[in-house]
Amino acid sequence: MDAICKRLPFSGYSDAYALPDIIRCGTNLYLAQFAFMKLLPAKYIIEQALARGTLRYGMKVLETSSGTFALGLAVVCRERGFQLEIFTDPVMDKGLENRLSSLGAEVFMITKKAEQGGYQRSRLDALDARMRQLGDTCFWPRQYETPDNPAAYELFADQISGMLDANVTLVGSVGSGGSTCGTIERLRQKAPGARLIGVDTFNSVIFGQQDGERKLRGLGNSLVPENVKHELYDEVHLISAPLAFAATRTLHERHAVFAGPTSGASYIVGRWNARQYPGETVVVICPDEGHRYVETVYDHEWLKQNGSLHEGVLLDAPATENHPSTALPPWNRYLWKRKSREAVLSLLEEV
């Protein structure tokens, strides 16, 4: 406790909460609990843009997001004095929308899905139209494609290697690809054998499923982001929403870790892997805390109304599928073996 008392105060919220706390939850199982993970890349992207001169004071920051990357940008833009416009869709919960507005962001709700690419495509189209209107007076962070997104996680990787070791098995949900790919690239500079397990959900196109409705938010995508480097993944696990909800509640009940459903999805995969391979050090990325989900994932009646109460029985192990495109709920595992997406998809013809 003395060391904690002697630490200097942080200069701002983003400095205080950019990195996670590392929590040991088993003999070889660790959780990296972020307040909200996307604060780290938001902070890094804005700082790098300022350093390069691609973002200057007086310009507006524009982004498409339905989750915590928007919140990360809102925090950093508030600290730095920039106006922020967020293009989102109805999946954004009211609590997050209210917090964004409180931080001074302007939120544009896109209510029409594109036939190809869903809401993510229609949000991008709306953002593109706004950029053409503003010209060179705006800056788009481009979280799905900028190399600054994965580069931001080098700091997190160094935190892991300094506290544990670089030779770990990293388990994390995949949305933009920044956190898992950026972290493992840095870890493999010191330990080439470090393993990466990606966690996605069904009806996400990232690892070869057909696009469709997804109840589990915060991971998955209707488009394949450029920052997802498929050749970095050793395994891919697909998790259903009810199972992720059950795992999230279990994580809180057993370890008092109050987190969101993307954390639950990764936790159940990491817990299984730690038991299967006791010689590995498993680090699970928990992207956010559970405050946004008190009235949903943590609410018995909501789970019942959404058909997730009895379906969400906590499983002990996944099924192993011959190909990710044919995987079915509630939990499937595929040995990706550091292949390209194209190489894996081409194997479907052989299945």
Q: Which CATH number does the domain housing residue 98 bear?
A: 3.40.50.1100
Q: What is the pLDDT of residue 349?
A: 65
**118 shares a domain with 34:** no
**238 shares a domain with 227:** yes
**153 shares a domain with 83:** no
What's the structural domain count of the chain? 2
Q: What is the pLDDT of residue 91?
A: 86
Q: What is the pLDDT of residue 306?
A: 87
Q: What is the pLDDT of residue 223?
A: 87
**Exposure of 211 by Cβ count < 10 A (0-12 exposed, 13-18 middle, 19+ buried)?**
middle
What is the domain range of residue 317?
A: 2-38+148-339
**195 shares a domain with 77:** no
Please state the pTM of the whole predicted model.
0.92
**256 shares a domain with 107:** no
In a domain, 321, yes or no: yes
**216 shares a domain with 184:** yes
**273 shares a domain with 231:** yes
Among 121, 139, 157, identify where a domain stops.
Answer: 139
Regions of the chain where pLDDT drops below 70? 1-7, 310-313, 349-351
Q: What is the pLDDT of residue 311?
A: 64
Q: What is the pLDDT of residue 119?
A: 85
Q: What is the pLDDT of residue 116?
A: 80
Q: What is the pLDDT of residue 2?
A: 43
**284 shares a domain with 175:** yes
Q: What is the pLDDT of residue 312?
A: 59
